[in-house]
Amino acid sequence: MACTVHVASPLRQYTGGAATVSAEGATLEEILTDLDRRFPGMRFRMIDEQQRVRSHIRIFIDTHEAPDLKQTVQPQQPVHLLCALSGG
């Protein structure tokens, strides 16, 4: 199943500048794996080696923040990859 992924600007260096891409998968984990297959290196910038979402990354499925990567994603639900940073 394909879903729409909205990509925050710091991650668009991986998507060739695209703000929206499509990805295959029924869970967030599968979607991130598919994104990394197509855009190598992208996943590790968001997810650390212990499979935790990095501290300045937030992932939303539709309008709800995903607590972990096991969350299921319905085809009509967009995924938002957000970058959250404070300070100068």
Query: Using CB under 8 A as the criterion, which residues of the chain lie in contact with another protein when the complex forms?
Result: 8, 10-11, 40-41, 44-52, 54, 56-57, 83-85, 87
Closest approach, Cβ 76 to another protein, in A, equals: 28
Residue whose pair of structure tokens reads 């994603």 in the numeric block: 73
Beta bridge partners of 23: 3
User: Closer CB to another protein, residue 1 or residue 70?
Assistant: 70
User: Closer CB to another protein, residue 16 or residue 87?
Assistant: 87
Angle made by CA atoms 40, 46, 47, in degrees to the nearest 5:
95
SS3 (DSSP) at 74:
coil
